[in-house]
Amino acid sequence: MTRNMDTSEVIEVIADLCKKACYELNDNLIDALKKAYTQEESPYGKDTLDLLIKNAEYAKQEQIACCHDTGTAVVIMEIGQEISWSGMPLVEAVYAGVRKGYEEGYLRKSMVRDPLDRVNTGDNTPCVFHPEIVPGDKVHITVMPKGGGSENMGAFTTLVPAVGEEGVKDFIMKTVEYAGGMTCPPIIVGVGVGGTMDKCAWLAKKALLRPIGERNPVPHYARMEEELLEKINDLGIGPLGMGGRTTALDVHIEYFPCHITALPVAVNLQCHASRHASAEI
Footprint on this chain of ligand SF4 (rule: CB under 6 A): 67, 69, 71, 147-150, 183-184, 271, 273
- In the complex with ligand SF4, the residue whose CB is nearer, 44 or 256, is 44
Nearer to ligand SF4, 194 or 276 (CB): 276
Question: Nearer to ligand SF4 by C-beta: 110 or 233?
Answer: 110
In angstroms, the CA 88 to CA 105 distance is: 24
Shortest approach of ligand SF4 to residue 273 CB, angstroms? Answer: 4
- Report whether 115 contacts 95 (CB < 8 A): no
> Which residue from 26, 22, 43 is spatially nearest to 249, judged by alpha carbons?
26
Nearer to ligand SF4, 97 or 147 (CB): 147
- Nearer CB in complex with ligand SF4: 112/281: 112
CB of 70 to ligand SF4, least distance (A): 8
How far apart are CB 66 and ligand SF4 at their closest, in Å?
Answer: 8
Residue nearest to ligand SF4 (CB): 147
Closest CA to 74 of 5, 149, 131, 134: 131
Least distance to ligand SF4, CB of residue 235, Å: 18
Name the β-bridge partners of 73. 145
Q: Kindly report the CA angle at 233 between 150 and 39, in degrees rounded to 5?
A: 110
What is the Cα–Cα distance from 192 to 168, expressed in whole angstroms? Answer: 10
DSSP secondary structure letter of residue 120: B
- The three-point CA angle 172-242-209 to 5° equals 45
Beta-strand runs (E) in 81-222: 83-86, 128-134, 139-146, 155-159, 187-194
Shortest gap between Cβ of 59 and ligand SF4 (angstroms)?
11
- Closest approach, Cβ 48 to ligand SF4, in A, equals 12
Question: Toward ligand SF4, which CB reaches closer, 97 or 241?
Answer: 241
